[in-house]
Amino acid sequence: MRLPRNLSYLEKWFVCGVLVGVVAGLGAVVFAELLKLTTSFFLVDIVHYAPPSPAGEGVTVTPNFSEVRWNLFPIVVTIGGLISGVVVYTLAPEAEGHGTDSVIKAFHKMGGYIRRRVPLVKLIASAVTIGSGGSAGREGPIAQIGAGFASFLSSVLKLSEHDRRILVACGAGAGIGSIFRAPLGGALFSAEVLYRQDLETEALLPAFIASVIGFGVYSMFEGTRPIFEIPSLVPSLDPLSLLSYVLLGFVSGVFAVIYVKTFYGLKFNVFDRMPIPNHIKPAIGGLVVGLIALVVPQATEMGYGWLQLAMWNKIPLTLLIVIAITKILTTSFTISSGGSGGVFAPSLVIGGMLGGAVGVLLSSYANINPAIFVVIGMMSFFAGAAKVPLASIIMVAEMTGGYSMLVPAMLSSAISYVVSGSSTIYYEQVRCRPLSPAHKEEFSVPLLKKMLVREAMTENVVTVGPKTTVREALDMLTRHNIGGLPVVDVHGNLIGMVTFTDLVQVPAEHQRKMYVELIMTRDVIVTYPEETLYDAFRKMIMNQVGRLPVIEAPHSRRVVGILARADIRNSYEREVKKLLERQDEADEGL
């Protein structure tokens, strides 16, 4: 099956976007319902802990803690982690952790390919992890569901690798736009989350189509009401208020760094080093989360209900701070151990609680409603932690209906983004498109056409004479760790080229007697100092060679250097680094 070749750009992406959007929307419905079942089974029926729901998804009622079976809480979370670990590491190890990172990796490094079983494994494992009390969110699983189907559809329709990548990105955005009822934010997220300082602009149009369709399908079953309900408040924009938003942005940025360092510190320095099977590690993370739940149960599961209560100013200052700090710990132990789930929901809870705490503290000195700071804190914290300022602002605005918060959110999110520096909760993000394997060829050609051979070549050339023995030449290659040697006469003029492959084909008993002139290549492909790296690289590709002698000029045969493929790569990367540094200096100047 293949798409008709006469389809226009818009027609092609409309068809693909609709198909992906429908499946992403249905996948979001299935995951949402499965999550309700697992939460009801593990937390409500067994532990007797009924976490509050946000206003748009249920009843926001503080649980009756006197009825909670506290002794079962750690056991249930541990069992949930164990089930998740066994399912994931047995069937699809790439489904561990927060799924959005796997989608990012598939885009940059795997040509957009995702195994067909991954979405189903992720759906089951995440529902069990979150439903049993693990601190994780819905964005990772639903991103993999949408992206996984997009990858499958690309294979069915025989799309190119380029189109597969784009469709995978918009599949993730469609899933997120559906389940969070944030179609615009989901589309922006799919284009922004791939990079720390860039956008995948080609994904925007397909993502808009897929995300709107997915949102429509999901809303048919779950309604269109925003997830959260906030007071009808208009944030003040006077100078004092603007300073308070700057302060919130700074706090969000600092805590975003703490969040990322805690998350990956536990992953790389603790769980990855544990000499035990990966299948068991999520259970250990679950046990720690369950023990924390004995003191702060608000730091378990997604936490949206507690976030809703914070928006209604029903959580005291001390508890706001405690939830923010312990949520960092429970999320890190849940997902860094290999548990399955997203990081978006926990990030919103952490940011919202921090924002609420800042708002309560500032309300003693100014006429400030902490509810406004809860919403802005959600936006600014995730903007800094995930490097998605645009998507973060729009998504939270759609999830809360808080469009009046856009101006202060822009200020606070920008500050958080800058303060958090290069820290990101999405480990597989790359800095910008030129550094992505998905765009390397696209960006390398114009750059290589501007760079000259003399800028990349190795000048101190190791050469041999025609009467050098094969054994001596092999020793020189080994000693200098190179793959080929120009053969020159007494005047330094090129007369041939000999490579490691040429030399080792000579039997060992003849290597000390045979001269390189007998086996060297005489018709040597060469390059010149003033030739572009693009032209030199084309010669290498077309003639299937790994290095070129650099000759002084077309009318000369004197060797002045040698150019290997590694030299071109290193020179290209240095030039990209210089461009990025100049861009950073320009940004600082602004």
What is the C-alpha separation between 47 and 68, in angstroms, rounded? 6
Half-sphere exposure of 534 (CA within 13 A, CB side): 11
Alpha helices in 457-557 (DSSP H): 470-480, 500-504, 533-543
Tally Cβ neighbours within 10 Å of residue 492: 14
DSSP for 357-386, written as a single string? HHHHHHTTTS---HHHHHHHHHHHHHHHHH
- The residues with which 515 forms a beta bridge, in sequence order, are 469
CA dihedral 445, 449, 453, 454 (to 10 degrees): -130
pLDDT tens across the length of the chain (590 residues): 677 767 788 889 999 999 999 999 999 999 999 999 999 999 999 999 999 999 999 889 999 999 999 999 999 999 999 999 999 999 998 888 888 999 999 999 998 999 989 999 999 999 999 999 999 999 888 999 899 999 999 999 888 888 999 999 999 999 999 999 999 999 999 999 999 989 999 999 999 999 999 999 999 999 999 999 998 878 888 888 899 999 999 999 999 999 999 999 999 999 999 999 999 999 999 999 999 999 999 999 999 999 999 999 999 999 999 999 999 999 999 999 999 999 999 999 999 999 999 999 998 887 788 999 999 999 999 999 999 999 999 999 999 998 888 999 999 999 999 999 999 999 999 988 877 888 766 666 777 888 999 999 988 888 999 999 999 999 998 888 888 899 999 888 999 999 888 898 899 888 988 999 999 988 899 999 999 998 998 898 888 888 899 999 888 889 999 998 888 888 888 887 777 676 565 545 44
With contact defined as beta carbons under 8 Å apart, do 120 and 141 qualify? no
Distance set, CA 411 to CA 243, 257, 380, 555 (Å): 10, 19, 9, 62
**Cα 307 from Cα 296, distance rounded (Å):** 14
| Residue whose structure tokens are 């030039």 | 575
What would you measure as the largest C-alpha separation in the chain, in angstroms?
Answer: 95
Find the distance separating the first CA and the last CA of the chain, reported in whole Å.
Answer: 52
Rounded to an integer, what distance in angstroms lies between the CA atom of residue 279 and that of residue 84?
A: 8
| Amino acid letter, residue 562 | I
Alpha helices in 3-98 (DSSP H): 9-39, 73-91
Letter for the amino acid at 87?
V
Residue ranges of the chain that CATH labels 3.10.580.10: 443-572
- Identify which of 476, 475, 467, 474 has the alpha carbon closest to the alpha carbon of residue 514: 467
Task: Return the DSSP state at 268.
Answer: I
Structure confidence at residue 1 (pLDDT): 65
What per-residue confidence (pLDDT) applies to 590? 43
CA angle 573, 576, 580 (to 5 degrees): 135
pLDDT of residue 235: 87
Do 235 and 404 touch, CB atoms closer than 8 A?
yes
Q: What is the pLDDT of residues 149-173, one digit of tens each?
A: 999 999 998 888 889 999 999 999 9
Tokens coding 236: 């003040």
Among 301, 284, 369, 311, residue whose Cα is nearest residue 78 = 284
Q: Which residues of 63-93 are buried (b: 16+ CB within 10 A; e: fewer)?
A: beeeebeeebbbbbbbbbbbbbbbbbbeebe
- pLDDT in the model for residue 28: 95
Residues recorded for the chain: 590
- Measure the CA–CA gap between 396 and 374, rounded to whole angstroms: 11
Q: Classify residue 269 by its DSSP letter.
A: I
d(CA 423, CA 425): 7
CA atoms within 13 A on the CB side of 459: 3
Residue 496's pLDDT is what? 92
Q: What is the pLDDT of residue 402?
A: 87
CATH topology of domain 9-435: Clc chloride channel (1.10.3080)
Q: Among 3.40.50.10490, 3.10.580.10, 2.60.40.10, 1.20.1440.80, what is the CATH number of 443-572?
A: 3.10.580.10
Q: Which residues contact 60 (CB under 8 A, 6 or more apart)?
A: 52, 53, 54, 305, 308, 309, 312
Tens-place pLDDT, residues 20-50: 999 999 999 999 999 999 999 999 999 999 9
- Of 397, 368, 375, 360, nearest in space to 307 by CA: 375
Global pTM value: 0.80
Residues 6+ apart with CB under 8 A from 205: 10, 13
Q: What are phi and psi of 135, to 5 degrees?
A: -85, 95
| CA-CA-CA-CA dihedral for 374, 376, 377, 383, to nearest 10 | 150
Q: Give residue 91's identity as a one-letter amino acid code.
A: L
H or E element: which one contains 50?
Answer: none
Backbone phi, psi, residue 484, to 5°: -160, 160
287/299 Cα distance (integer angstroms): 14
The torsion angles phi and psi of 107, rounded to 5 degrees, stand at -65, -50
Q: Quick one: pLDDT at residue 442?
A: 62
Distance (Å, rounded) from C-alpha 316 to C-alpha 204?
A: 41
DSSP string, 534-565: HHHHHHHHHHT-SEEEEES-TT--BEEEEEEH
Specify the domain boundaries for CATH 1.10.3080.10 within the chain: 9-435
